[in-house]
Chain A
Amino acid sequence: MTGPAAGVSASVRVERGHFTLDVALEVPAGEVLAVVGPNASGKSTLLHVVAGLVRPTTGTVRVGERVLTRRSPRGSVPDRPDGPDLLVAPEHRGVGLLGQDPLLFPHLSATENVAFGLRSSGMRAAPARERAREWLARVGLDGTGDRRPGELSGGQQQRVAIARALAAEPAVLLLDEPLAALDATSAPQIRQLLAEQVRATGTTAVVVSHDVLDAVVLADHVAVLREGELVERGRCAEVFSAPRTAFTAALVGTNLLPGRRDRAGVRTAVGPLEAVAPEAATRGRPDGSLEQPDGGACVVRFRPSAVELFEDRPDGPNVFEATVRWLEPATGGVRVRLAGTPELLADLEPAQAQGDWLRPGGRVWARVDPAAVHVAAGDS
């Protein structure tokens, strides 16, 4: 299992009843890719295919130059140009897997758990235990090596599981919601620990999560998965600060509206919206006029804090009427969800959120600050 980090590439299709996962992704050696998406978007299935626990309907999985999984479409010619079907067993893939449940072997001590991978690759007991102790110290568990998993807290167990996964020196490490089962106090610490250790070992990793924070802290690149398809990908900073799909926008908690350009600004589902600086659209046009004045598809993006709500129609541009869906707590105030497709968010200061008029089902007036409206080319 030892060896330099290798890149991983997967191009697979898994059909299961009504659900289809159809994904192609590539992670260069030593980099970390986050795959984010809601539950049942196919994230875990994707990891299980890479780990060799699930055979795809069709597709290929490669680690470095080595093909680990290959399945050609049924009915294709017998002498396939890309070689015969193949499914390398999980234990021969050099692909580690760490899930939300630590799944420490209950009959082995913490040290023996961490040493397990090393012993499996043929290392003798004494040096393996020595390495395991070093790893336990690295994850902040010095001196707990003799304890059984049942004697450790949930956070400590996950630390042992991280040490166990990394000590085996996998070519690729798959992280399946590694922090989802932890409480609010231990999750940030362990997220940090995981990020540090994955970087320190230079391990190529794919981390799957429904939490944008995991992606930002752990990964260099992100791919957004929706209903079995990748809808967006790129560097974390770019994708999350300027999402191109309403889906990603909802994930990071910003507003995104599809629209068409016209002379005055952008026509959207809530009416015309003006933007002071239509960023992407002004490229190459010093006068600030739009590249495709009429009918060009674009997306409009604005933060929830750029939206104000009023009981009566206010003055100014970018005003539209909307129905309140519900209210929820937000950092330093109240977040209002407005009904519509896509749903829009407005963050209000507590003082603004007073009054009977702001209640689920009520009609309100919304105003968006033109200076906070960003316009980008492309379809949502």
Chain B
Amino acid sequence: MTTDPSAAGPPGPAGPTPAPASARSRGERGAAPRPLPVLLAVPAVLGLVAVLLPLVALFPRVDWATFPAAITSPAALSALSLSLRTGLAAMVCCLVLGVPLALYLSRAPSRLAEVLRIIVTLPLVLPPLVGGMALLYLFGVNGYLGQVLTVVGITVPFTTLAVVMAQTFVAMPFLVISLEGALRTAGTRYEYVAATLGAGRWTVLRRITLPLVMPGLIAGTVLAFARAVGEFGATALFAGNQPGVTQTMPMAIYTAFNGAGVTRDSALALAVLLVVVSLVILLVLRDWRRREAW
């Protein structure tokens, strides 16, 4: 998994775009593209190879005979199941917190929105390790909130909860940024119409605002889920690597290369599985968004 938000393309026109804009893009698509300097093709191809070759190189190393056994070994299954459960939990957290945040962000005055957007984007740019450290200093046994929680008898670090928190921390920007873009594109004209038809704020949100940005919302949710499942750095520092409790797939793969837990074969099989699953997610998402673009 990459931390580059543009990996799956920008949120794109999630809502209805103004007519002139769509007419313009149609016109550009119809004309032949302007030729580029030929020399640029060399670094461009190298760039593509740099992304593709390492991933392709994974596949010949897989022992396909033992592949089914490798991904169904108890250690692998445990990591897989933990990744899925924590990933889904983090996705729900991102939705519950991120959707309202994106809504307010899209309505904020431009100056304030600028500042808020930078804050929200920060976890996306930061090395995840730094995020994990920050979480540890806040929720650790000696951390500001950690001390308070210890008194109540709650310990966060090195629990499954910590995994979910770390994943939410790194994945939230994907949802918020993607959804906010869709909300800004959709604008508020339909909401005004809905209000003059007698719809209250909750009705407008439920029946107009959210359905209009549904493609952007789904895209953001899937990206956030994918990012949560791939989370490693923050989890490693804040949640640790305990099989069955905090050892997610990326942790299991890492551990296998240090000669513990799952075998290297399993690690390789899991890695290939992650690549394939990521690819499928991106393809489905792309297809779905094209279909839903009204």
Contact = CB atoms under 8 A, between A and B. Distances in A.
Interface of A: 1, 51, 53, 89-97, 101, 103, 105-107, 116-117, 120-121, 148, 150, 164-165, 168, 170
A103 B190 CA distance: 6
21 contacts: A89-B195, A91-B200, A95-B196, A97-B196, A101-B189, A103-B193, A105-B194, A105-B212, A106-B15, A106-B16, A116-B194, A116-B199, A120-B194, A120-B197, A120-B199, A120-B200, A121-B198, A150-B294, A168-B197, A168-B198, A170-B196
Interface stretch (B45-53, B203-211, B243-251): B203-211
B294 A90 contact: no
Contacts of A168: 197-198
A90 B212 contact: no
Contact of A107 (B193, B199, B294): B294
Interface of B: 15-16, 189-190, 192-201, 203-204, 207-208, 211-212, 214, 294
Contacts of A170: 196
A89 B194 CA distance: 12
Nearest to B16: A106
Contacts of B199: 91, 116-117, 120
B197 A51 contact: no
Contacts of B196: 51, 90-91, 93, 95-97, 170
Nearest to A94: B198
B200 A148 contact: no
A46 to B, nearest CB: 15
Nearest to A169: B198
A107 B189 contact: no
**Which of B193, B200, B212 is most buried by chain A, counting CB atoms within 10 A of its CB?**
B193
A90 B192 contact: yes
A1 B196 CA distance: 10
A105 B208 contact: yes
Majority-rule SS of B interface residues? helix
Contacts of A90: 192, 195-196
A116 B212 contact: no
B212 A120 contact: no
Nearest to A122: B198
Nearest to B192: A53
B16 A116 contact: no
Contacts of A94: 198
A100 to B, nearest CB: 12
Contacts of B203: 120
A90 B196 CA distance: 5
Contacts of B197: 91, 96, 116-117, 120, 164-165, 168
Given A90-B192, A91-B196, A91-B199, 19 more contacts: A51-B196, A89-B195, A90-B195, A91-B197, A91-B204, A95-B196, A96-B196, A103-B190, A106-B294, A107-B211, A107-B212, A107-B294, A116-B194, A116-B197, A116-B199, A120-B197, A120-B200, A150-B294, A164-B197
A117 B203 CA distance: 11
A120 B201 CA distance: 11
Contacts of B204: 91
A164 B208 CA distance: 15
Contacts of A97: 192-193, 196
A106 B212 CA distance: 8
B190 A105 contact: yes
Contacts of A93: 196
Contacts of A164: 197
B294 A91 contact: no
B294 A148 contact: yes
Contacts of B208: 105
Given A51-B196, A91-B195, A96-B196, A116 B190 contact: no
B47 to A, nearest CB: 38
A132 to B, nearest CB: 12
Nearest to A96: B196
Contacts of A92: 198
B193 A1 contact: no
A265 to B, nearest CB: 53
B52 to A, nearest CB: 37
Contacts of B211: 107
**Which of A1, A93, A120, A168 is most buried by chain B, counting CB atoms within 10 A of its CB?**
A120
Nearest to A2: B198
Contacts of A107: 211-212, 214, 294
A117 B195 CA distance: 9
Contacts of B214: 107
**Which of A91, A103, A150, A168 is most buried by chain B, counting CB atoms within 10 A of its CB?**
A91
A108 to B, nearest CB: 8
Contacts of A106: 15-16, 212, 294
